[in-house]
Structure 1
Amino acid sequence: MATVYEPAAPPAGPAAEPQQQQVQASKQPQSRLQYFKPHDGYALGCPNPPCFEERLTTAQGIHKSMELRDGELESTLRLACKVFDVETATVSLLTGERIYLVGACGALPVCVCPDRWGFCGWSFLNPNHELNVVENMMEDARFSENFFVVNENFRLVFYVMAPLISSNGHRIGTLCIMGQQPRKFDATRGAILANLSELLVRQIERRWALQGSQRVQGSKLMRSVEAYEAACGFIDASNVNKWRLLHLNAPAVELLGIEWTASYDELAKLDEGRHMAAFEGMPLEQVLDVDMGLATWQAAQAELALTNVKGAKGTPAEGKCFNVTFKLATSDSLDEHAPFSVGVPSWLRESSDPGPGHNYFFMHLRPVELGSPRQPPLHHGSGLQYGPRLMGPSPIPNLVLGPLLGKGGFGKVYRGVHQGAEVAVKIIEKLESVRVTRAGMPIEVAMTQNFHHLGVLRSIAWGIGLPDPAVAEISPALAKPTCWIVSEYCDKHTLVDAVVKGWFRTSRQPTHGGTHLRCVALTAYEVASALAYIHSQGVMHLDLTGGNVLLTSFAGNPHGFSAKVTDFGLARPQDVRVRSAPGRYGTVTHMAPETIRDGVLDYACDAYAFGVLCWEMITGSRAWAGLSHEAVLAQVGGEGSLELPMGLPPVLEELLTACLAKDPAARPTFKQMLPRLEAYLQFTRHCALEEVTLPMASPAGLE
């Protein structure tokens, strides 16, 4: 029976009210504005994502219908602990006010806990599916005073999460690995964890997704029936002459007819002093009649396909034949049935140990008698390979792709190396979606290629990738050209991540310190300077958000990074007079009131978005956190406004008030903003820390 952890009595005060109640009427009767308070993550936990109601319905439906083979969760946890060398791993479902740890080992038991105690919900706010990696939770304002971090019974410090993405695109839960000591994590292991989450979620949601009622209700499900029937195993090839099987999913167990067991007795239970039992897996030749010797291994460093492989003698699979594919566990996706890709944070480095990237494979089994569609020829390259193999070779000379960083509606973004320098590579799969100049150059490249400003992320090269001819011959539907755009690489992730992690605070503990206003002003100056330059070139950005400002290491700043404005996909030249459909251009949380009401696009829209960015840096909160997109549109397009904290220096208060004005004519230009920010930076140049610290509002219940 699962342990149930209940919170203490809810704190008194405004923070105890539901998130929807954070928009409160102004205390000034002469003003019609309604002010939105910053989200109190310490008292309330993670704010709800905009799609909260839809996500909740999906998660609850899957939880109620979940039906797993005995030992399946235990086998997944055992695999995660071995591959990532941890003793604490969990499988959780987030169903509203509670988190169900349906599988757990190490420092955590199978249990139910309050939603606001959880770590996982914070990653659900990211618009893209991505790992959440926290190498030391004591240095992250979201977690440093969390119950599971400070409680003597748990003391969790290291945490990595891969989202479990349902077939309709909602993140319903997580596959997590954790530890009680800080440790480094890398992009290589991150790619493996991302693929394991896809393998796991298929079994968790199988019954729910295949119920006819879901399709009748109109849910758009992205996984095919074949995804749930795909037989898959996980291989350790660290001994090149004796490959070992570490995991089989339920379809593979049924197909091979072998007994594959796992139990909680093999897993760590730290409160009882029990550590992880040694687990070496099963030799592959005990399952399949195949000799994975050194010669085969040398040919298989990318992928290897074997046909007509027989089941091992003396097993239930004897007499059966299979087509078997071995695919690196670090590949972009688990298999061709995976509808979603989980990105690796851009700041993670690749492993200095080549083992994880070369030694682990997913094994895909297909019975020969059932037949299978012809597949594109597989690569048998030497060395670790990343990238979209179906898309053909790179159209840009001297470019080598690295790990997948993210995937959106446009395509994928990879880290790469171009002419010896680290770069980011965007591959746009829908060529028709690329806005181009009359000369055929992508507009975002044309706009930034000639920009020369340290605060603007510059495009370096671009090209049209042609499909692999072999793929075109076998499957014309897959043979589509793609657009490749190479840009500068930033190693510190995004501005919005820095905000929620507490990088603009004087302390990473939510009950101590406050906002470091000088660090905020330095970053604000960099962004404002970049926008002043962009506007001087006759370009409007029109999608300035914390996710579109990247951070890169810079020792010249006291906080260790500088900001670069990126993503010009919605940018427009000022001489092109356009309007959009009201509320349909840009990101709703940073969209100007006139864009929401009338579809107006102008320079002043960027000034409003800049004001929202500054508000987020000062308060440590996402703007309009916990509200649906519809609610945000109603607030910004109506009488809602972001509440400025008390005690701001007059120069910053006046600047933010002007930027957030409902009337676009009242907003300053970026050229006008720069002297104000520069004056504050000059004035505080020699100030003591306490003189440039804005105390945070006392957490609810602690006044």
Structure 2
Amino acid sequence: MDRLETPVPLLLGRYRPERLLARGGSSMVFRARDENLGRDVAIKLFSSGTPDDLARFRAEVGVLAGLRHHGVVSILDAGVDDSSPKDPRPFLVIELVEGDTLRAALNAGPLSTRRIGEVAFEVAETLEYVHARGVIHRDVTPTNIMVVDYGTRFSRPRARLTDFGIAIHATRPQEFAEETFGTAAYLSPEQVRNEPLTPASDIYSLGLVLLECFTRTVAFPGTPVASALSRLDHDPEAPDDVPEPWRALIRSMTHPDASRRPSAADVATAARGALRADREHEPA
């Protein structure tokens, strides 16, 4: 990404956006410098300060501020950029994660069964924590899973969950909860139907992500509308070349009946068991 062409005023007197990393429908994400602490951070700057943007901003702050887990990309600060008084823009200061998205890893080539299993365990472990705090992510996709390699001798790449911009609290009302959000190819059937959601919706989405990791094919391709509606007609197919027990786990995670899907803790336990079994069968 290119560096910013014009100087940007310090946000909250300390954060200086330097480079655009990503652009979405309602926000932009910049690499920025915290000039007080001398470290790099990420800034999520909302496109405007309309009532809807401010409501989304408050909702995301409310969700992220209550989460402290190694698998969640943390919020560091928040504020409103009022350098243009007629166009105030809320922003979040987020931990800068050095790594690639799972989407980029998939685009680069096939993943080993062990690597897929590690992603399954780590994201499920994170979702167990998130769900225990009454939060539903609503947009678990390869793009919102970061694969971080710390680059030390005894470390291995770790999966972390990002972008809680449309997450909701399952236990209390929230302005946008009744609307369908998320990435069409990974929506749960209940999201498509605009029904009340439970943590099982995130499990369905993670099941589709894992299926794609094994098959390197999006289960429900097409335009957003066609992709969303297709899961109401048929279930995703886990082909025979997806190894057991992963095939059975993915089928249970993508069951059309949300009440019959495993919990995040169940998924993490199954993934850990499968990883141990694979390790035991490796040649000495």
Q: TM-score, normalised by structure 1?
A: 0.37
* AA aligned opposite 1:633: A
Cα offset, 1:557, TM superposition: 9.6
Cα offset, 1:443, TM superposition: 2.1
In structure 2, the residue corresponding to 1:431 is in which secondary structure? coil
Aligned residue in 1 for 2:244: 650
Aligned residue in 2 for 1:466: 82
Partners of 2:126 and 2:20 in 1: CA distance:
28
Partners of 1:523 and 1:540 in 2: CA distance:
19
Give the gaps of 5 or more residues in structure 2.
none
Does structure 2 conserve the Cα–Cα contact (< 8 Å) formed by 1:500 and 1:622?
Answer: no
1:415 to 31, 38, 51: 31
Cα offset, 1:560, TM superposition: 4.6
Partners of 2:280 and 2:13 in 1: CA distance:
49
Aligned residue in 2 for 1:612: 208
Aligned residue in 1 for 2:43: 425
Aligned residue in 1 for 2:161: 565
Structure with the greater alpha carbon radius of gyration: 1
Identity within the alignment, %: 24
1:495 to 99, 102, 105: 102
Partners of 1:622 and 1:562 in 2: CA distance:
23
Aligned residue in 2 for 1:518: 114
In structure 1, the residue corresponding to 2:30 is in which secondary structure? strand
The verdict on how the C-alpha distance between 1:665 and 1:487 changes in structure 2, with shifts beyond 3 A counting, is same
Q: Deviations over 1:363-385 (max 9, x none)?
A: xxxxxxxxxxxxxxxxxxxxxx6
Partners of 1:569 and 1:422 in 2: CA distance:
21
Matched, 1:580 2:172: no
Which one scores higher on RCO, CA 8 angstroms, separation ≥ 6? 2
Cα offset, 1:436, TM superposition: 4.4
Aligned residue in 1 for 2:226: 631
The verdict on how the C-alpha distance between 1:529 and 1:610 changes in structure 2, with shifts beyond 3 A counting, is same
1:540 to 124, 136, 140: 136
CA RMSD of aligned residues (A): 2.6
Q: Deviations over 1:214-237 (max 9, x none)?
A: xxxxxxxxxxxxxxxxxxxxxxxx
Q: Deviations over 1:371-411 (max 9, x none)?
A: xxxxxxxxxxxxxx65xx4xxx3332432322111222213
In structure 1, the residue corresponding to 2:100 is in which secondary structure? coil
Cα offset, 1:420, TM superposition: 2.2
Aligned residue in 2 for 1:152: none
Q: Deviations over 1:648-697 (max 9, x none)?
A: 343212210101111111101101111111111222235438x9xxxxxx
Matched, 1:669 2:263: yes
In structure 2, the residue corresponding to 1:434 is in which secondary structure? helix
Cα offset, 1:610, TM superposition: 0.8
Does structure 1 conserve the Cα–Cα contact (< 8 Å) formed by 2:170 and 2:197?
Answer: no
The verdict on how the C-alpha distance between 1:683 and 1:563 changes in structure 2, with shifts beyond 3 A counting, is same
Partners of 2:15 and 2:236 in 1: CA distance:
44
Does structure 1 conserve the Cα–Cα contact (< 8 Å) formed by 2:149 and 2:155?
Answer: no
* AA aligned opposite 1:425: I
Cα offset, 1:456, TM superposition: 0.4
Partners of 1:623 and 1:414 in 2: CA distance:
31
Does structure 2 conserve the Cα–Cα contact (< 8 Å) formed by 1:552 and 1:563?
Answer: yes
Does structure 2 conserve the Cα–Cα contact (< 8 Å) formed by 1:499 and 1:621?
Answer: no
* AA aligned opposite 1:592: S
Partners of 1:525 and 1:542 in 2: CA distance:
18
Partners of 2:121 and 2:13 in 1: CA distance:
37
Matches within 5 A, 1:272-311: none
2:190 to 586, 594, 603: 594
Does structure 2 conserve the Cα–Cα contact (< 8 Å) formed by 1:400 and 1:416?
Answer: yes
Does structure 2 conserve the Cα–Cα contact (< 8 Å) formed by 1:396 and 1:463?
Answer: yes
Partners of 1:653 and 1:558 in 2: CA distance:
30
Moved more, 546-555 or 412-421: 546-555
Aligned residue in 2 for 1:60: none
Q: Deviations over 1:571-596 (max 9, x none)?
A: 11111257635xx3221111111221
In structure 1, the residue corresponding to 2:69 is in which secondary structure? coil
Partners of 2:109 and 2:256 in 1: CA distance:
29
Does structure 1 conserve the Cα–Cα contact (< 8 Å) formed by 2:220 and 2:231?
Answer: no
Q: Deviations over 1:610-634 (max 9, x none)?
A: 1011111111233333x12222123
In structure 1, the residue corresponding to 2:245 is in which secondary structure? helix
* AA aligned opposite 1:676: A
Q: TM-score, normalised by structure 2?
A: 0.88
2:87 to 472, 480, 485: 480
Partners of 2:154 and 2:277 in 1: CA distance:
16
Does structure 2 conserve the Cα–Cα contact (< 8 Å) formed by 1:658 and 1:666?
Answer: yes
Does structure 1 conserve the Cα–Cα contact (< 8 Å) formed by 2:220 and 2:230?
Answer: no
In structure 2, the residue corresponding to 1:403 is in which secondary structure? strand
Partners of 1:394 and 1:483 in 2: CA distance:
14
Partners of 2:231 and 2:152 in 1: CA distance:
37
Partners of 1:556 and 1:599 in 2: CA distance:
45
* AA aligned opposite 1:434: D
Cα offset, 1:598, TM superposition: 4.2
* AA aligned opposite 2:233: G
Does structure 2 conserve the Cα–Cα contact (< 8 Å) formed by 1:466 and 1:481?
Answer: yes
Matches within 5 A, 1:104-143: none
Does structure 2 conserve the Cα–Cα contact (< 8 Å) formed by 1:396 and 1:461?
Answer: no
Cα offset, 1:556, TM superposition: 6.7
Partners of 1:453 and 1:396 in 2: CA distance:
26
The verdict on how the C-alpha distance between 1:430 and 1:669 changes in structure 2, with shifts beyond 3 A counting, is same
* AA aligned opposite 1:602: T
Cα offset, 1:519, TM superposition: 0.7
Partners of 1:664 and 1:557 in 2: CA distance:
41
Partners of 2:152 and 2:214 in 1: CA distance:
21
Aligned residue in 2 for 1:217: none
Partners of 2:54 and 2:206 in 1: CA distance:
25
